Amino acid sequence: MTVAKPRLHVLLAGPRGFCAGVDRAIRIVEEALKRHGAPVYVRHEIVHNRFVVEGLERLGAIFVDELAEVPDDGQPVVFSAHGVPKSVPAEARDREMYFLDATCPLVSKVHREAERLHARGRHLLLIGHEGHPEVIGTMGQLPDGAMTLVHDAEAARRVTPPEGAELTYTTQTTLSVDDTAEIIAILRERFPGITEPAKESICYATTNRQAAVKAVAARSDLVVVVGAPNSSNSVRLREVAERAGAPRAVMVQRGAELDPALADGCATIGVTAGASAPELLVQEVVDRLRERFDVTTEDVTVAIEDVIFRLPPMRVVA
């Protein structure tokens, strides 16, 4: 006798998964491999997702920590989507390397804004996570001491900028919208003269994915976030889900990592994915749940994204 599976309703948050910056970075590596053949060297993970990285490795990409590991063989070197300090392309030019910058254009906008504000004599407070590649890249756009990192609300209460400095702030693009608003409020209270950046620094994709996970969390007994533990935007999605009302939120990198028994007793669960996780991995999670449950799905879409970023110019191969 076949025992009927318990029913489970899965809310699929939208938007989820790849953003335009991640898609562009991956396409840059793929196009470089097509044009120039293997190997193509990539400084750091092109995006924070092992599935993506391993797929590019199979095509012939070689990931390195620093340019010192790259031989002088004339093959392309790609800089990751998170951005790099100015010292990295400077080193590449000194070595006459052929390099392609896959920095997300929205991160590059933060870099250029930081340069403009510094040129106007402002001291920048950068709201972001210490040690994250994007933060390292942004701070590396300006001379040492021109920018001070503020990594959380407590740091905002303690930060001591240079005396008499005119202050402004900017942010990492993948932060929690709510946490960042709290930090900015503290900075405004402490430094009434602080000026705002010309444009919002947290990117549209981060904002949209957090809004989408809030929409499903309020209806869910459990939220599953597909993403890597070193992916800032994925970690933020799990945190946002819990704060938005989900009794529990977990993060997995692949469907095989998910224990379907976590959903026992749940009527409805939400599923989303960080900006560097492909849709295939979301489907893995749904399929994993189908092993134990009679699954129905519902799309919960809060925004439609149609942003596309162009690839940088590449050498013509004869």
SS3 state of residue 157? helix
| Token pair recorded at residue 108 | 């590059």
Number of Cβ within 10 Å of residue 185's Cβ equals 12
Long-range contacts of 185-188 (CB under 8 A, 24+ apart): 186/153, 186/156, 186/157, 187/125, 187/150, 187/156, 187/159
**pLDDT of the chain, 318 residues: tens digit per residue:** 667 899 999 999 999 999 999 999 999 999 999 999 999 999 999 999 999 999 999 999 999 999 999 999 999 999 999 999 999 999 999 999 999 999 999 999 999 999 999 999 999 999 999 999 999 999 999 999 999 999 999 999 999 999 999 999 999 999 999 999 999 999 999 999 999 887 789 999 999 999 999 999 999 999 999 999 999 999 999 999 999 999 999 999 999 999 999 999 999 999 999 999 999 999 999 999 999 999 999 999 999 999 999 999 988 765
- Domain residue extents for the chain: 7-18+204-301, 21-104, 106-190
Quote the pLDDT of residue 317: 66
130 token code pair: 């210490």
Would you state the pLDDT for residue 1?
60
Distances (CA, A) of 49 to 44, 226, 233, 235, 238: 11, 10, 12, 13, 16
CATH of domain 106-190: 3.40.1010.20
Query: Which residue among 134, 196, 242, 305 is the active-site one?
Result: 134
Tell me which residue of 37, 86, 21, 12 sits closest to 233, measured CA to CA. Answer: 21
Of the candidate CATH numbers 3.30.300.130, 1.20.5.510, 3.40.109.10, 3.40.50.11270, the domain formed by 21-104 belongs to: 3.40.50.11270
Q: DSSP H helical segments within 95-221, as ranges?
A: 105-119, 133-139, 153-158, 177-190, 204-217
21-104 and 106-190, same CATH topology: no
8 Å CB contact between 110 and 72: no
Sheet architecture: strand order including 7-14: 249-252, 222-226, 268-273, 7-14, 294-301
Per-residue confidence (pLDDT) for residue 200, from 0 to 100: 82
Q: Is 134 a catalytic residue?
A: yes
> CATH fold of 7-18+204-301, please?
Cobalt-precorrin-4 Transmethylase; domain 1 (3.40.1010)
Q: Tell me the C-alpha distance between 77 and 22, whole Å.
A: 17
**The predicted structure's pLDDT at residue 236:** 96
pLDDT of residue 37: 96
Which strands, in side-by-side order, build the sheet including 166-171? 147-150, 122-127, 166-171
* Cβ neighbours, 10 Å, residue 59: 13
CB-based contacts of 16, cutoff 8 Å, min separation 6: 209, 212, 271, 272, 273, 279, 282
Token reading at 31 = 């196009």
